Amino acid sequence: MSPQYVWSLAVDYPADAYFPDDFEPMWLAGKLRGDWTPAGWHPDEEYVRIFGTEQFVWPSVRKFYLVRSTAVRRALLLESYGAKVRLLRSMPLEFEERNFKRPLRIVQGGAE
């Protein structure tokens, strides 16, 4: 069996997408601005249908991706909006069989 990995993204958002460090209220300083949009970006009908808003929303970055191509697609989308993304790969995963502390219940169902 070939090695298996999980993938993660390290994202650096554009500097102007953040509130400045001296912003008031201070709890917003250094956080992503809600009013920021990428240059030339305009919401289309599908975007509004999916997100329920015309406001730009950064795509979520899940902690881990099980498939490299999915991580790469998300990285390319983020980069198209101006972010810098690094693709991170785990060490090879090793799986071992573990005994359960109690027997598994077998659920039987369906039409007879």
Where residue 77 falls (left for φ over 0; alpha for ψ -120 to 50; beta otherwise) is alpha
- pLDDT, one tens digit for every residue, the chain (112 residues): 677 999 999 999 999 998 888 878 888 888 888 889 999 999 999 989 988 999 999 988 888 999 999 999 999 999 999 999 999 999 999 888 888 777 767 777 665 5
Please return the burial class of 61, using the count of CB atoms within 10 Å of its CB with bins 0-12, 13-18 and 19+. middle
* Token duo for residue 101: 């502390």
Q: Model's pTM, two decimal places? A: 0.76
Q: Which residue has the tokens 């697609």?
A: 73
Distance CA 110, CA 104 (A): 19
Tell me the domain boundaries of the chain: 7-89
